[in-house]
Amino acid sequence: MDGLAHQIVAGIATGGIYASVALAIVMIYQATHHVNFAQGEMATLSTFIAWSMIQAGMPYWVAFFGTIVVSFAIGVVVERILIRPVANAPVLTMVGVFIGLLLIIGNATGWIFGYTTKVFPSPFASDRPLFGGLVSAHELGSTLVTLAVLTLVWAFFRFTRLGLAMRAAAYNPRSARLVGIRVGWMLALGWGMAAAIGAVAGMMVAPVVFLDPTMMLGILLYAFAGALMGGIDNPAGAVLGGFSVGVLENLAGAYVVGTELKLTVALAIIIGVLVVRPSGLFGRVVLSRV
């Protein structure tokens, strides 16, 4: 029972990382109706920027918040320069743009920072077992940071005028323009927030998996599974899906498929959701009359 409890608690901790990336995926999907395949590479680049700041002598939390600001700016620039010109292009064109963005950012990160695995520090380092050894200090700290970020995002969209304008621009751009909302800039801000949230996820997971240009590939797959499970058009559902995938991954890896085949759990979830309920557990079923 202690082993089962540990797997569940650890799954919640890793699920928080998946929930953050899933939320970033859903935010961009709501704005563009396309999946950003480069979300993981953007998070990795942001984590390398944080690592560079720390190596330069900055305190961890100064580098943490500085990276969030830089990542937000990177997301806005990517939307304005690369995504805006092809906003009305066919679906295959958008897929090609996202795949190209994935390759460009991934290779540029390796070229700039190198492909050697690096150690990323944790601000929650502690040798003392917590809650009877069920959870490590980093797992608990990263979960609290993730929950804080998700709470701030929810409060922003729920209680601020700018958040309401961004929601309106995502759900109905035409009506939003009629009431004076600058939809183009709302989409750019959405990209910036998605990049910032991805940066937080990258900085929380890097101390566990170590830092290299490919560290987010598997995490992006788990996050995509969580987004599909909860509903690709439902931010709250995607967050719940991310936590659920984290717990299922740990339990299946410990008791069913083994640690070597844990990635197949995400693939099984993706296939199962697409076959049984493509809209996800909390997603909307959209009907179109022709």
Position 72 scores a pLDDT of 94
Within a domain: residue 159?
yes
- Asked whether residue 288 is assigned to any structural domain, the reply reads no
H helix runs in 160-234, sequence order: 161-171, 173-178, 183-209, 217-230
Closest C-alpha to 63, from 48, 44, 74, 75: 48
Name the residue with higher pLDDT: 47 or 249. Answer: 47
Question: Exposed, middle or buried: residue 132 (CB in 10 Å: 0-12, 13-18, 19+)?
Answer: exposed
Residue 3 lies in a domain: no
What is the tens place of the pLDDT at every residue in 179-235? 888 888 888 898 999 899 999 989 988 888 888 888 888 888 888 888 888 888 788
Residue 288: pLDDT over 80:
no
Q: Which residues pair with 118 in a beta bridge?
A: 211
Instruction: Kindly state whether residue 211 falls inside one of the protein's structural domains.
Output: yes
Q: Evaluate whether residue 285 is within a structural domain.
A: no
Residue with the bigger pLDDT between 1 and 96: it is 96
Is 114 part of a structural domain of the chain? yes
pLDDT digits (tens, 9 = 90+) for 128-168: 666 556 677 777 888 888 888 888 888 888 888 888 888 88
Query: Which of the four pLDDT bands, split at 50, 70 and 90, describes residue 85?
Result: confident
The whole-number pLDDT of residue 127 equals 61
In a domain? residue 223: no
For residue range 244-266, list pLDDT tens digits in order. Answer: 888 888 888 777 776 667 778 78
Q: Confirm whether 227 is domain-assigned.
A: no
**Structural domain range at position 123:** 24-216
Q: Which of 162, 234, 181, 195 is nearest to 82 (CA)?
A: 195
* Counted domains in the chain: 1
To the nearest 10°, report the CA torsion of 264, 270, 271, 273.
140
How do residues 23-33 score in pLDDT, each as one tens digit?
888 888 877 77
